[in-house]
Chains A and B, each alone.
Chain A
Amino acid sequence: MAEVEWEEALSALSKLSSAQTSDLCHSLAEQICHNRPPAPDAYLKSLSLEEWWALTGVLRNFLTSSVKHDRTKDQMIESMKAVPEEQRLVIAEATTVHREQLRERLLEDTTAISQCLLRDFDWQLKLVMSSDKLASLNEPLLNVDLDLQDGAGDSRQVTIELDQEELKKLLTSLEGCSKAVQQLTV
């Protein structure tokens, strides 16, 4: 069990009020869950950049590890004896609030072990009324944007245009995939 080293963050923590700590914990949890980075401006008034880095690192570590080990609130408070009393409580509360989401996120990250991962997709349907050869064509075309993420965490976008036949083909292959996955899990 990797314990969180509070020593590096203690000096930084002592400079923050408990309300600030709570805010910081929540925004860090949100960052972990939804990739929404916290704004450091408010904290950098009282902290140096190194302290900020150390503090956020330690807190993030604490959040993930306590969710990972599924600690109760008391256990969490127990595990950070070095931290001042007030802030101990605040940090533990923030962790319990975000427990479910953090857990989901960790699971997601764990299951995302394939080489390439579909993060998001978008589509637009376009109706081609006519072309340079035909006066009335009436062919629907589908633009599909796929946001892919490879193993290293880099994302790239693939855009494809499909007519009806190709779309059918794509859908059948995707259905085959889904069936395979279903057989694997349920």
Chain B
Amino acid sequence: MEEVDRIIIHSLRSIGCDIDEEVHNLRQFNTDLIVSAAVQCIKFINNDADLPNTLPPGMSARFRMGASLANYVQDMGYRGGDLGYQTFLYSNEAEIRKIFMFLVEKLPKDTSQVADEPMGSSVMLHRAISTELGAQLALPWVPTFLKDRGLRNRTKQPGWHREGTSCMHRYHACHVAVPRDVASLTVKLPKEQRQYYGKQLAFLTSQTQCHADTAPSVLEMTAAEVARQQEWETEWNQSGLTSRLSQKDYKARKMSKIQKMLTDRLKQDAKQRDGGSTMDSLRDLQQVMASISQNARGGTKTKGSRFAHTEKLLYGKDEEKTMAQIGAAVPSKDTEEETQRKREEEQQQLREELTQLLSQIDQLELDMRKMTASRQQMDEAVSSAAQQRQDKEEAFQVKKRTLDLLPDAHNNIQKLQGVVDGSAQRLLSLAAQWEKHRAPLIDQFRTLRELSSQRESEAQRQLEEMKTFRSKMKEVADEARQKEDLQKQLQMEYERMTKDVNRTAYTRKIMEIVANIKKQKQEIDRILIETKSIQKEINSLSGKLDRTFTVTDEQIFRDAKRDESVKKAYRFLAALHENCEQLTKTVEETGVILREIRDLEDQIETESHKKVLANLEKITEDYQQMKKENATLMAKLKQK
């Protein structure tokens, strides 16, 4: 019973009942505790049970609560004898034990089910965080200079963690160079490359500027590599396989495609920009043309390119100006105003000249544009005229030949007929020949086409197969990973569980109990067999007795007729038999009575356990209290 009580108390505690540490068995439960525990259980089983958690003070309310508790328990299917308010309010140990056993069994098993299923990762994370934080909080504070780079070691919950920010640095990756294609034997490494790897390439740890960057750099590099591989794999699976090219070909094709696209785009862009710049180029061309024409025309004026001309123009003017200045300065002693005036005049003159020249240039440009336009027109006209001429020449040729044939018309017609016939004949023979060649070729073509389509379908099928296999492979890998995760989680869960629940103790106890029961059963069996054998012995003995008695009885009875003394003996025998029978009967009766006594003693024991007296006292007290309550209520009623 001790064990049962412990289990009950443990499970009651686990659902949140407030049970003192000193309470070890159900006998120590008082009414309050019983009621609150029962309410807790019922609430746990049936969420919408409407019960107060503690016993109310009023007696009638208590009574009602006890009755409703009993109702709930009976609704759940309790069949362990009659149940009522008295079971909870005036408890006896055995009944309470029965009820609690029933309730504990009825408790929803979802807590254990949750443990079976994989717990949500967020729950796990939270638990991990809280344990970690708890462990860190439990440690005493330590000044920074006692920690080696912020490291703290723990003995309880063995492990370590960092404290403070003294050793933090940002996760910064930079490029690291590693030898490539060294391990594969198929790729031949150039000599200088190998030399570079052997001699000049710095070690990985010294390639980064700051030593802390080494790990991030390596991680970053590998991550990039993995990402690239994955990208390539998905692309190859999606579009690469269907293209039915080798990987190298596929890559080459893609590269050429991209390059083409780039060039197209660049060309487009260039064209768009050309739309704006054609005018410029046209103008440039016109300028050149104009300069050439100017050169041709005004050979007297300048020689050389337009650039030279303008240069000369500019410098020439400068020279003139300087000359004028010199002339003004040396020969006459003109006043300042006069020189000023002269200069202005000169400027005016020059400006006019410039505008004139500009207008001339514009005029020339216009002319030239007109000329080019007319030239184009003329060109077109010339080409069309040439075309016409050619056409006409051809027509003339034909006509001329027919005219040549005209004089000897009859003969010529016959000749022509002959030629036509001959060509028809030839055509026919050629057609026959063609037919002869064509038939086998068509047959061959058909068979080849069939073959190719077959091959195509075969390839398609294989491709499909390959795809399904790949997807299956991925699925299986995913599944395996999931299972692994689950296994890891369950492992963790299991490790965690063995620590706080004395499961093994329970199982050991259960095993012990089972062994005990087995032993007891054996004992009982043995005793039963013994009893049976004794019964058998008794039966056989009594049979024997009966038989001997009847035989003796007969003999003596026969002799008794003749002899008086024997008659006496016969009477004695009868008396003896009767007495003996009485004796055995008495013994049996004693046994029965003894058994009854034992039963009664048991009953007394159980009754004494029921605390009848105490309960009776309690009941009377409660009865008095109820009476009082009723009286006060009545008084209140009357007052009103």
B199-252: which residues lie under 8 A (CB-CB) from chain A? 200-201, 207, 209
Q: How far is the CB of B261 from chain A (nearest CB, A)?
A: 7
Q: Given the interface contacts A26-B200, A36-B207, does A96 sit within 8 Å of B192 by beta carbon?
A: yes
Docked complex Cα distance between A145 and B172 (Å) = 10
Asked if A120 and B173 make an inter-chain contact with CB atoms under 8 angstroms apart, the answer reads yes
Interface flag for A23 (CB, 8 Å): yes
Asked if B207 and A186 make an inter-chain contact with CB atoms under 8 angstroms apart, the answer reads no
Residue of B171, B177, B190 touching A30 (CB-CB under 8 A): B177
Residue of A26, A36, A138, A185 touching B261 (CB-CB under 8 A): A185
Docked complex Cα distance between A131 and B366 (Å) = 82
Q: Given the interface contacts A30-B177, A34-B174, A145-B170, does A127 sit within 8 Å of B129 by beta carbon?
A: yes
How many residues belonging to B are interface residues under a CB distance threshold of 8 Å? 22
Q: How far is the CB of B169 from chain A (nearest CB, A)?
A: 11
Q: How far is the CB of A144 from chain B (nearest CB, A)?
A: 12
A1-60: which residues lie under 8 A (CB-CB) from chain B? 22-23, 26-27, 30, 33-36
Interface flag for B282 (CB, 8 Å): no
Asked if B258 and A122 make an inter-chain contact with CB atoms under 8 angstroms apart, the answer reads no
Asked if A96 and B261 make an inter-chain contact with CB atoms under 8 angstroms apart, the answer reads no
Docked complex Cα distance between A120 and B192 (Å) = 32
B506-522: which residues lie under 8 A (CB-CB) from chain A? none
Interface flag for A129 (CB, 8 Å): yes
Interface flag for A97 (CB, 8 Å): yes
Docked complex Cα distance between A30 and B176 (Å) = 10
Docked complex Cα distance between A127 and B129 (Å) = 10
Q: How far is the CB of A120 from chain B (nearest CB, A)?
A: 7
Q: How far is the CB of A26 from chain B (nearest CB, A)?
A: 4
Asked if A36 and B209 make an inter-chain contact with CB atoms under 8 angstroms apart, the answer reads yes
A94-122: which residues lie under 8 A (CB-CB) from chain B? 94, 96-97, 101, 120, 122
Interface flag for B196 (CB, 8 Å): yes
Interface flag for B175 (CB, 8 Å): yes
Interface flag for A150 (CB, 8 Å): no
Docked complex Cα distance between A96 and B209 (Å) = 25
Asked if A122 and B200 make an inter-chain contact with CB atoms under 8 angstroms apart, the answer reads no
Task: Mark B31-71 against chain A: 1 for CB-CB distance below 8 A, else 0.
Answer: 00000000000000000000000000000000000000000
Interface flag for B193 (CB, 8 Å): yes
Q: Which residue of B lies closest to A184 (CB)?
A: B265
Residue of A23, A35, A101 touching B200 (CB-CB under 8 A): A23
A67-113: which residues lie under 8 A (CB-CB) from chain B? 93-94, 96-97, 101
Docked complex Cα distance between A36 and B171 (Å) = 18
Q: Which residue of A lies closest to B262 (CB)?
A: A185
Tell me which of B122, B196, B209, B261 has the highest count of chain A C-beta atoms within 10 A of its own C-beta: B196
Instruction: Point out residues on B near A: beta carbons under 8 Å.
Output: 122, 126, 129, 170-175, 177, 190, 192-193, 195-196, 200-201, 207, 209, 258, 261-262
Instruction: Point out residues on A near B: beta carbons under 8 Å.
Output: 22-23, 26-27, 30, 33-36, 93-94, 96-97, 101, 120, 122, 124, 127, 129, 138, 145, 185-186
Other A-B contacts than A120-B172, A129-B129, A185-B262, 17 sampled, CB-CB below 8 A, are A23-B200, A26-B201, A27-B200, A34-B174, A34-B175, A34-B177, A36-B209, A93-B195, A96-B190, A97-B193, A122-B170, A122-B172, A124-B171, A127-B129, A145-B170, A185-B258, A186-B258
